[in-house]
Amino acid sequence: MSHPILACRGVAKLYGAKASRFVRDGRFAGAPEELSAAGVVSAVRDVDLEIARGETFVIMGLSGSGKSTLVRCLSALTPPSAGEVLFEGKNLNAMAEGDLLQIRRHQMGMVFQNFALLPHLTVLGNVAFPLDVQGVRKAEREAKALEMIRLVGLSGREGRFPRELSGGQQQRVGIARSLAVKPDLWFLDEPFSALDPLIRREMQDEVLRLQGLLKKTIVFITHDFDEAVRIADRIAIMKDGRIEQIGTAEELVLHPATDYVRAFTQEAPRAKILTARAVMAPAPSGADFAGRVEARARIASFAHEVEAADRPFAVVDGGAVIGVVDRLAMIDVLVGRERKAAAA
């Protein structure tokens, strides 16, 4: 990750009357008791992270964990109390107002939890709004907006007003609007939390589809671990304003850094997270295989074949056999960790 598109170093955000004094003294990373005694709330503490171009980076935490504040620091909506946020190597908070304006107009897009649609504009007007702000001529911006509306599958509804749409449709408008300026960096702040579970799944698929098409860098905020697992390349788990661990879903499940992460990942759908590589046993020489699976493949994608066969499957990476998986391994994964622990 030599050239991260977005990076932050030692970012902290403190609220409260005496917040600035703590920052000046450099005590902001200290014990939360000391801070809360002074009436200072530390929403984000000492966060370092780097996000690579084209990556889908999910920030996950429960409510109050500071994830919303962190994304507002990353998008420079709120200035951090300490530390710096670098966008393409440039410090967002040290930048001239005009430069920041230009970056936001052309390189960033954001989707909001409660959609933030403008009630007085139609779907078309809402999607064209960021272009309108830039001063793009009407014909041109409406053509671009219509293209985005088609992309999110709302063609024919351009003339509707936001309140005439369902929640899922409203968020599609929000997505289309955030993509209208063709941003490099796409923020989604709990975009589907306000939606019903079924719609939520549908919208997650939509994001995956769009990401396959457009290849943006995504910063996605959620409190739902399943959602994180479905979408993320890498996940950062937050608690009390700190990042507990950053890693792929598989890394989090297999090697939780803290008890908090362990507790979180315990109930996770392991079959959808773990790959063949993670559960394979060393291949005995000259074994007889029922078939082969890719080392990168998720267990859920081949579990029933392996389970139905009477012989083990070979795990291959670049054509070479690097291990085996058998029925027992499948059952271990599907039944979960407890049984494995009991057996061990």
Residues that bind other proteins (CB under 8 A): 72, 75, 77, 101-106, 108-110, 112-116, 118-121, 129-130, 132-134, 161, 164, 181, 187
Inter-residue contact 29 to 9 (CB < 8 Å) = no
Collapsing DSSP states into helix, strand and coil, what is residue 53? coil
* Parallel/antiparallel/unpaired status of strands 6-15 and 41-51: antiparallel
Buried b (16+ CB within 10 A) or exposed e, 13-47: bbeeeebeebbeeeebbeeeeebeebebbbbbbbb
The rounded distance, in Å, linking the Cα atoms of 172 and 184 is 19
The rounded distance, in Å, linking the Cα atoms of 326 and 310 is 8
Nearer to other proteins, 174 or 323 (CB): 174
Minimum Å distance from CB 138 to other proteins?
A: 14
Nearer to other proteins, 194 or 322 (CB): 194
Minimum Å distance from CB 84 to other proteins?
A: 19
Q: What one-character-per-residue DSSP string does 72-107 give?
A: HHHTTSS--SEEEEEETTEEGGGS-HHHHHHHHHHT
Minimum Å distance from CB 66 to other proteins?
A: 17
Nearer to other proteins, 203 or 306 (CB): 203
Collapsing DSSP states into helix, strand and coil, what is residue 295? coil
Minimum Å distance from CB 20 to other proteins?
A: 18
Inter-residue contact 172 to 153 (CB < 8 Å) = yes
Nearer to other proteins, 98 or 318 (CB): 98
Nearer to other proteins, 161 or 260 (CB): 161
Contacts of 338 (CB under 8 A, 6+ apart): none
Please give the structure tokens belonging to residue 74: 């990353």
Nearer to other proteins, 93 or 113 (CB): 113
Minimum Å distance from CB 220 to other proteins?
A: 15
Burial of 283 (0-12, 13-18, 19+ CB in 10 A): middle
Inter-residue contact 159 to 127 (CB < 8 Å) = no
Minimum Å distance from CB 114 to other proteins?
A: 6
Residue (of 180, 30, 175, 174) closest to 107 by Cα position: 180
Minimum Å distance from CB 150 to other proteins?
A: 21
Minimum Å distance from CB 162 to other proteins?
A: 10
Classify residue 280 by its DSSP letter.
Answer: P
For the chain, helix (H) and strand (E) counts, in that order, are: 16, 13
Nearer to other proteins, 130 or 312 (CB): 130
Nearer to other proteins, 124 or 276 (CB): 124
